[in-house]
Chains A and B, each alone.
Chain A
Amino acid sequence: MRPLIATRRRRWYVIAVLLFVVVVAVTSHRYFRPAPKIAPAHSHAVASDKSLYLLDSVWTTDRDKTIRLGELRGYYVVMALIFTECNGVCSVMVKELQTFSTSLPRDIKNQTRFVAITIDPDDTGEALLHYRQEMQLDEPQWMLLRSTPAAVRELAAVLGFNYAQTDNRQFSHSNLLTLLNPSGEIIHQQQGAGSDLRELTAAIHKE
């Protein structure tokens, strides 16, 4: 029986493949950002009577994935209510949050989710996806959600966020940011746009 490849050539072949693997591994480590680690569920997450995760509303992401808020359990969650046609404070707030999120140390960043929720029932998944690109919310820590008017009204009511539609696709609304702990309880709220976002990190550290 004749071997397919001569022994000598086979040896070279194995060495070449190994070399290739090593080179790819090294370059990818150097030139591509490693995928962010998904932090394990935070040890502080406990069942709580005050948890927002008691709400059973169903939400849809900008990538048309269906989720419940309870899936955020285990993370610190910075929650902001927005609408994509907004030209005022909500854009400023999201921009400020985006800058803030990129400046966070990796350990905090990995345990934190930034959740932007639209109050506009006419915001489609596509609109949210476009918003993600426009606002450069490309890091996986950012989640963009939409739901039914009743679910949004309920969540807003829990957060103490007031809003009303004033014109076609325009809203009057509160300027508010909310921080949830890993159990889903509100641990901190502050003014949305134009405030010192380091208060958020301070609140996380205080937990």
Chain B
Amino acid sequence: MRSKIAAAWLLINLTCNVAVAANAAKEFTADNIDRCAAGAADAATCDSDKRGAIHIPAGRYFSFFKRKDGGSQDIPVAAFWLDIKPVTRADYLDFVRRRPAWRKSQIKALFAENNYLADWADDLNPGEDTQAAVMFVSWFAARAYCTDRGGRLPTVAEWERVAGAVDNTKVGAPDTAIANPQSPFRFAMGQSAADVRSTPLTFGSAWEWTVDFNSALALGATSGAVNNSGSSLFCGDGFRSNNATDYAAFLRYSFRSSLRANYTLKNLGFRCAR
């Protein structure tokens, strides 16, 4: 009897301790959000949610598109968590191990093109560099991965707010960093915004999926309808840029608007948000 009570006490105590420890870890993370944002903490600390995500404070997204009335769109973006780097092949391998439907040989054509995971040797062999970002993944696959992890893909607004390389502390004209003419694509793949520039967030190795990638009506969108007066036949306005000199944003919006959900491209990866 006594030993049973002791065991129960021990169990309760242990459970409580674990719960307290978990809470402590959460608080620890929350405490460090500001330090991460201020650049005072190292990557390992900011990484403390174990998934490699950091907290992005609420901010503003200066849309590449003008409002219908011609004004510029300055959209508030709520605070969220974002992975510091794109999902790696190793991460993705773990996912397909557990979810056979997303393996290279099992995938349905609706969800991914033929060259899904084209650079993988086979279903469970991602090749040599397992820490490289996973590529040749469709929007469906990216979304399934993030959902499986309890997260989601970031929205265009969230992604651009973080990686659009504009000074989002200012309202008005964006402080667009100057694209390196030698590597416009690399630049367009993302530059951290001023208020997250000191965090370990990394961009520039791949294009990235967003959950609402198909929200842009840029050049190359499906509709080419032109009425007699020569204006575009859209419900609402199609495409008018806030800042025609923001070539990087132009590339991103054009690229996104040309995608389909089952496309799998070299250089197109993803990271998760929540």
Report which A residues bind B (CB closer than 8 A).
49-52, 54-55, 83, 86-90, 153-154, 156-158, 160-164, 166-167, 170-176, 189, 191-194
Contacts and interface: CB of A to CB of B under 8 A. Distances in A.
Contact of A158 (B65, B110, B221): B110
Interface stretch (B19-27, B176-184, B234-242, B243-251): B234-242
A185 to B, nearest CB: 9
A171 B236 contact: yes
The interface centre, meaning the residue of A156, A162, A175, A191 with most chain B CB atoms within 10 A of its CB, is A162
B260 A160 contact: yes
Contact of B223 (A55, A83, A158, A174): A174
Interface stretch (B46-54, B89-97, B200-208, B211-219): B211-219
A175 B223 contact: yes
The interface centre, meaning the residue of A50, A153, A171, A193 with most chain B CB atoms within 10 A of its CB, is A153
Contacts of B110: 49-52, 54-55, 158
A135 B233 CA distance: 20
Interface of B: 65, 67-68, 108-111, 139, 211-217, 221-225, 227, 233-238, 257, 260-262
A191 B224 CA distance: 8
Contact of B236 (A51, A54, A170, A194): A170
Contact of A157 (B213, B217, B223): B213
Nearest to A92: B233
B53 to A, nearest CB: 21
The interface centre, meaning the residue of A87, A157, A194 with most chain B CB atoms within 10 A of its CB, is A157
A161 B214 contact: yes
Contacts of B236: 88, 166-167, 170-173
Given A157-B260, A175-B233, A49 B222 contact: no
B262 A89 contact: no
Contact of A49 (B109, B238, B261): B109
Contacts of A157: 139, 213-214, 260-261
Given A52-B110, A153-B212, A153-B214, A172 B234 contact: yes
Nearest to A189: B222
A172 B109 contact: no
A153 B217 contact: no
Minimum-distance CB pairs A-B, first 6: A157-B261, A88-B235, A49-B109, A164-B215, A172-B236, A175-B223
The interface centre, meaning the residue of A50, A55, A166, A170 with most chain B CB atoms within 10 A of its CB, is A166
A117 to B, nearest CB: 14
Given A49-B110, A166-B67, A174-B217, A160 B235 contact: no
12 contacts: A49-B108, A52-B110, A88-B236, A153-B214, A162-B222, A163-B217, A172-B217, A172-B238, A174-B234, A175-B222, A175-B223, A194-B233
Nearest to B69: A167
A166 B215 contact: no
A173 B223 CA distance: 9
Nearest to A167: B68
Contacts of B214: 153, 156-157, 160-163
Nearest to B66: A166
B191 to A, nearest CB: 23
B235 A170 contact: yes
B73 to A, nearest CB: 9
Contacts of B213: 157
Contact of B235 (A55, A86, A156, A191): A86
A140 B223 CA distance: 29
A91 B227 CA distance: 15
Given A54-B108, A172-B236, A160 B216 contact: no
A69 to B, nearest CB: 12
Nearest to A162: B214
Contacts of B68: 166-167, 170
